[in-house]
Amino acid sequence: MSSDAIANKKFEKAKLLFDQGLIKEFKELFDVAPYSVVAKKINTNNIRFKEKLENPMTLKLGELNAIANLLKIDSVALYALVLQESSAKKEQV
């Protein structure tokens, strides 16, 4: 099985978990779909992408849209997850 086929299976699993509402934080997506593979597929520097996972509000809308397209998930739902996570962090402070 090729590495692309394995990556696609992981992307499908991430989509399934996201669609079922089991992903509660943005970075949980990358427990299933490795961030290094996602970064490569969306043409983003691996180290920069990993740093942005800690604060997804620093991602550009185009990057979030590319992630949504890659994982075949609803981009608006992904934006909402990031915003919800950001709001929750602000309330804790």
**In this model, does residue 48 exceed pLDDT 70?**
yes
Query: Residue 75 has what pLDDT?
Result: 96
Q: Is residue 1 pLDDT above 80, yes or no?
A: no
Amino acid occupying residue 57: M
Task: Please name each of the domains of the chain with its CATH number.
Answer: 3-92 (1.10.260)
- Identify the pLDDT of residue 71: 95
| Pairwise CA distance, residues 46 & 44, whole Å | 6
31 vs 1 pLDDT, higher one = 31
CA distances from 28 to 1, 18, 21, 63 (A): 25, 9, 12, 17
| pLDDT, position 88 | 75
Contact 17, 33 (CB under 8 A): no
Q: Give residue 6's pLDDT.
A: 80
CB atoms within 10 A of CB 45: 11
